[in-house]
Structure 1
Amino acid sequence: MDIETDNWTLAQYRDPESPQIWIFRKNQAPSVKPGSASHPHVCYLTFGYVPEDASGLPSSEDATRLQNIEATDVLDLERGGLAVLVGVALKNGIKDFIFYTSDPKEFLVRAAAIRDSHIEFKLGCEVAKDKKWSHYLDFPGTAA
């Protein structure tokens, strides 16, 4: 993730009938233009954690671990132009990293290595074709 060119927005949602807090970050200027045919697959890399309280947010210890994973391991998924991180969602015991990739098989191989390195979190990965980048366009935040 090139912080020089990436432009992230932050959105927070609070349900008035619940103590839950949802936090969304969206990359407004990903290194691959939204809708690009070169990266037609959306990938959700999901880390499960035990919420600290009714807000659904992680403990400070888990939050630090997840930030460190984002700063190091998540970057491996972008290496060589394989994928681009377009969004992050934190809500009710999960932290989702949303990518678009050119090669879903290689993405899954790299994601498995992250899973094996962080057994303290329940890690899942889903990949689907999304040529129109509709997941990105529907993600909370201003559309690019």
Structure 2
Amino acid sequence: MGIFDSLFKKKNESNSSELITKIPESWSVITGDNNGNPMFVRKNVACDRIAGNKNYSTSCGIAFKLLSPNADGLPDIENEPELDSLEDDIFDILESDLNSIVPLVITTSGFREFVIYTKDLAEFNMRLEKLKKKYPKYELTTYNKTDQNWNTYKSFK
């Protein structure tokens, strides 16, 4: 279970097995709070069109503690310059050949979590190991679970 799964009600919807040849993109930001701290969720709302795709039925997460959060628990980019590179690499390494899709990025309480849907968990894990080696300062933790209907993604509105 992801760090933030318990914060939102989930709903089930139908899914498809349509072949995905390109990840649609249209990002929005959802704001809220988590235990009195601000929370920002970046959601690729264009993924509404592919949410529930049976080829991407495993939900994975990559979560880590920010190295230099500000007083609100949000990133302080001046004191954490590798954060942007880490994020770029997560997208580049995981999505490059459509093995995985990253539709959510959650930041709150000194943590960041990337919610990912993958079609090949073994390949996801190999790529995660590359990220861990490249960014040893960050303690990248992960989880995975079956989420055929993309309930985690759909729970953020």
TM-score range (shorter-chain normalised) is 0.7 to 0.9
**Aligned 8 A contact 2:62 2:143 in 1:** yes
Matched with 2:154 is 137
Tell me the residue number matched to 1:38.
55
User: Which of 91, 107, 110 in structure 2 is aligned with 1:90?
Assistant: 107
Amino acid of the structure 2 residue aligned with 1:82: N
Q: How does the TM-score come out when normalised to structure 2? A: 0.76
Letter paired with 2:64: F
CA distance in 2, matches of 1:52, 1:39: 32
Does 2:140 match 1:108?
no
2:54 touches 2:148 (CA, 8 Å); kept in 1?
A: yes
Instruction: State the aligned residue count.
Output: 135
After superposition, the C-alpha distances for 1:23-46 in whole angstroms (9 at most, x for unaligned) are 110111139710001110001011
Runs of 4 or more, structure 1, over 6 Å off, are none
1:9 to 18, 22, 28: 28
User: Structure 1 residue 94: deviation in Å?
Assistant: 1.1
1:85/1:52 CA distance change after superposition, 3 Å: closer
- In structure 2, C-alpha distance between the alignment counterparts of 1:132 and 1:48, rounded to whole Å: 28
- CA RMSD of superposed structures (Å): 2.3
- The alpha-carbon deviation at position 61 of structure 1 amounts to 3.2
Whether 2:29 is the aligned partner of 1:26: answer no
Hey, what does 2:143 align to over in structure 1? 126
Shift in alpha-carbon separation, 1:63–1:51, aligned structure 2, 3 A: closer
Q: What 5-or-longer segments of structure 2 have no aligned partner? A: 1-22
1: CA distance between counterparts of 2:132 and 2:50? 28
Question: Structure 1 residues 14 and 134 mapped into 2: Cα distance closer, same or farther (>3 Å)?
Answer: closer
For normalisation by structure 1, the TM-score amounts to 0.82
Q: Secondary structure at the match of 1:122?
A: coil
Percent identity reads 23
How many Å apart are 1:113 and its aligned residue? 0.9
Flag the 1:32–1:48 CA change in 2: closer, same or farther, 3 A. farther
